[in-house]
């Protein structure tokens, strides 16, 4: 259908996918003693609990309701008792606490009553998007943006091409690969459903050419469906990034500051469309996910389908335990993953993988001065100047960093990967983006405060004017009668 295009920059890191990718997904994971369910497993505001401590809940039951901006529902992954609503450590490098619901499984796995449409294709698209919203489905590739919002955005634009992202370019991670191999029919059906919801002309499932079994399984499942095509893209990091995948598949380049909708394309991850298919065909909310447990510290690396809220330490035990103390724990891949503070954090909706890496697998080089080789410029898939951005960020000159394109940086780490001086470029970019976000939040708070003060001043002034007018009217009403008494 399309003539595939090459993407700018990128790198070829060692894949290291064979350890976890050779085994089928483990679906029978023993229940842990506790499930820890953060109220923010999405990109926006915390969900609001609608249960209380001591409540008995059923598997799939809604326990926290989305609220505010880019929020998502939370459901009970299994049946059991709510034992606490408290703060826990989040799977984030900061190790900061987050609000969570703590569930003690009863081991019965008793489902709540599920309801799925008899024929989703006979329903209005907006109703289907609402069902996806009710299921608490977010982007499963790591972005954790609520899927329903993305579907509704697709409805507002003329989407010509729906791209299902099966590239999975991060080293170690094989979650999507195994999912495509083992559940290709469900992914194709999910693709059909998303295409129907957003009314796209065409749908393309894009898979990197280093996944031949997944490609074969998807092509077999898509046989006879003319609106869905399975295409292969070159195995090159960061092919999994939406902008790079769009360029490779369609030849279109998303302009700086724009979104894929602006060029008539919408991108969803294969795990996301699988979750959508499970909801719209079977009524199942998002309560579990497939995740890769790998790294040379893990006894038996593999993919497991685990309940959300399962402690990472429990998943490590399921995979045979650790053979040695990890030099680094990561959630996600080694290029863009986040360092975990410990194993005592839960699996969340965006957990595509957990890596326990040895010293040999971790880059612990001491940074050296830049030798001006420009390899970072050549590797940058966005065509930016990483060194100049890092230099500006290092001295807190964020405005200058933005002039060099900081907003367009996707934090893929290609620049740091090729740097012979081992300069931690991405750390500078993350720092600068965080500071800029804090500035924007502070400015928004200041603007909001000023608006409140202006509103209050206007209200006080209006009340004073109203009192003044009432007093004047009262005076005018009493003055004539006073004159009449005087004349008598």
pLDDT at 138: 95
The CATH number of the domain where 371 resides is what? 1.10.1060
Asked if residue 350 is part of any domain, the answer here is no
CATH number of the domain where residue 241 is located = 3.40.50.11540
Q: What is the mean pLDDT of residues 335-348?
A: 91
Q: Rounded to whole angstroms, how far apart are CA atoms 48 and 28? A: 30
pLDDT at 480: 57
Mean pLDDT of the chain: 91
Q: What is the pLDDT of residue 5?
A: 66
pLDDT at 1: 42
Residues 284 and 391 in one domain: no
Number of domains in the chain: 2
pLDDT level of residue 235 (50, 70, 90 thresholds) = very high
In a domain, 315, yes or no: no
Could you tell me if 146 and 266 lie in one domain?
yes
Of 289, 310, 325, the residue at which a domain comes to its end is 289
**Statement to judge: residues 249 and 378 lie in one domain:** no
Confidence of residue 292 (pLDDT cuts 50, 70, 90): very high
Q: Is the pLDDT reported for residue 485 higher than 60? A: no
Q: pLDDT tens across 176-216, in order? A: 999 999 999 999 999 999 999 999 999 999 999 999 999 99
Annotate 377-403 with b (16+ C-beta within 10 A) or e (fewer): bebbbbebbbbbbbbbbeeeebeebbe
Q: Is residue 284 part of a domain?
A: yes
pLDDT at 93 over 80: no
Report the percent of the chain where pLDDT is more than 90. 71
Q: Are residues 279 and 161 in the same domain?
A: yes
**Confidence tier at 479 by pLDDT (50, 70, 90):** low
Is 462 within the bounds of a domain?
yes
Give DSSP secondary structure letters for 419-476.
Answer: -TT---HHHHHHHHHHHHHHHHHHHHHHHHHHHHHHHHHHHHHHHHHHHHHHHHHHHH
Spatial strand order in the sheet of 161-166:
228-233, 202-208, 161-166, 265-269
Q: How far apart are CA 1 and CA 202, in angstroms?
A: 10
* pLDDT number for residue 470: 84
Query: Which tokens belong to 443?
Result: 């400015």
Q: Which of 105-114, 259-268, 326-335, 442-451 has the lowest mean pLDDT?
A: 442-451
The HSE-up count of residue 393 (CA atoms within 13 Å, CB side) is 25
Q: Is the pLDDT of residue 40 over 70?
A: yes
How large is the average pLDDT for residues 219-224? Answer: 94
Domain shared by 130 and 275, yes or no: yes
Is 2 part of a structural domain of the chain? no
Q: Is the same domain home to 262 and 151?
A: yes
Shared-domain flag, residues 151 and 253:
yes
Give the structural domain span for 220: 18-31+124-289
86: left (phi over 0), alpha (psi -120 to 50) or beta: beta
Looking at 289, 304, 323, the residue that finishes a domain is 289
% the chain with pLDDT above 70: 97
Task: Band the pLDDT of 256: cuts 50, 70, 90.
Answer: confident
**Is 401 found in the same domain as 282?**
no
Residue 36 maps to a domain: no
- The answer on pLDDT for 483 being more than 50 is no
Both 150 and 234 in a single domain? yes
In a domain, 399, yes or no: yes
Q: What is the pLDDT of residues 420-454, one digit of tens each?
A: 999 999 989 988 988 888 888 788 888 888 888 99
Domain end: 263, 289, 315, which one? Answer: 289
Q: For residue 102, is pLDDT > 70?
A: yes
CA 76 to chain centre: 20
270 and 396 co-located in one domain: no
| Residue 239 contacts residue 248 (beta carbons within 8 Å) | yes
Residues 135 and 278 in one domain: yes
Helix pair angle (125-134, 270-282), 10° resolution: 100
478 Cβ partners below 8 Å, 6+ apart?
none
Task: Mean pLDDT check: name the lowest of 83-92, 250-259, 475-484.
Answer: 475-484
Q: 317 or 259: whose pLDDT is higher?
A: 317
171 within a domain of the structure (yes/no): yes
Q: Are 25 and 155 members of one domain? A: yes
Question: Over 60: is that where the pLDDT of 488 sits?
Answer: no
pLDDT tier, 70 (very low <50, low <70, confident <90, very high otherwise): confident
Q: What is the mean pLDDT of residues 109-124?
A: 94
């Amino acid at each position: 259908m399309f003539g595939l295009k090459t993407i700018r920059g990128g790198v070829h890191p060692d894949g290291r996918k064979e350890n976890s990718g050779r085994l089928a997904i483990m679906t029978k994971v023993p229940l842990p003693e506790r499930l820890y369910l953060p109220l923010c497993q999405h990109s926006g505001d915390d969900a609001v609990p609608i249960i209380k401590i001591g409540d008995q809940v059923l598997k799939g039951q809604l326990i926290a309701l989305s609220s505010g901006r880019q929020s998502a529902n939370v459901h009970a992954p299994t049946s059991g008792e709510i034992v606490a609503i408290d703060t826990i450590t989040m799977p984030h490098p900061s190790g900061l606490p987050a609000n969570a619901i703590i569930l003690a499984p009863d081991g019965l796995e008793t489902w709540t009553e599920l309801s799925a449409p008899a024929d989703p294709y006979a329903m209005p698209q907006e109703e289907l998007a609402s069902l996806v919203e009710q299921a608490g489905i977010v982007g499963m590739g790591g972005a954790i943006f609520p899927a329903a919002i993305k579907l509704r955005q697709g409805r507002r634009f003329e989407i010509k091409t729906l791209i299902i992202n099966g590239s999975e370019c991060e080293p170690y991670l094989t979650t999507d690969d195994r999912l495509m191999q083992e559940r290709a029919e469900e992914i194709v059906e999910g693709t059909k459903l998303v295409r129907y919801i957003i009314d796209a002309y065409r749908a393309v499932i894009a898979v990197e050419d280093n996944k031949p079994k997944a490609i074969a399984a998807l092509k077999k499942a898509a046989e006879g469906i003319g609106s869905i095509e399975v295409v292969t893209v070159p195995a090159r990091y960061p092919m999994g990034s939406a902008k790079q995948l769009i360029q490779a598949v369609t030849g279109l380049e998303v302009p700086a500051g724009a979104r894929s909708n602006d060029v008539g394309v919408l991108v969803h991850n294969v795990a996301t469309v699988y979750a959508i298919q499970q909801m719209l065909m079977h009524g199942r909310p998002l309560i579990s996910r497939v995740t890769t447990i790998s790294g040379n510290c893990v006894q038996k690396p593999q993919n497991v389908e685990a309940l959300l809220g399962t402690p990472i330490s429990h998943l490590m035990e399921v995979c045979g335990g650790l053979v040695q103390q990890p030099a680094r724990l990561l959630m996600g891949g080694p290029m863009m993953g986040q360092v975990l503070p410990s194993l005592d954090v839960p699996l969340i909706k965006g957990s595509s993988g957990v890596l326990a890496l040895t010293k040999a697998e971790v880059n612990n080089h001491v940074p050296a001065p830049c030798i001006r080789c420009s390899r970072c410029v050549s590797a940058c898939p966005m065509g930016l100047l990483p060194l100049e951005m890092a230099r500006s960020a290092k001295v807190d000159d964020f405005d200058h960093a933005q002039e060099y394109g900081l907003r367009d940086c996707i934090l893929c780490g290609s620049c740091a990967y090729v740097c012979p001086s081992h300069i931690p470029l991405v750390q500078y970019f993350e720092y600068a983006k965080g500071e800029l976000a804090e500035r924007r939040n502070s400015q928004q708070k200041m603007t909001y405060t000023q608006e409140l003060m202006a509103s209050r001043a206007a209200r006080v002034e209006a009340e004073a004017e109203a009192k003044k007018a009432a007093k004047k009217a009262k005076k005018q009403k009493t003055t004539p009668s006073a004159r009449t008494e005087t004349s008598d």
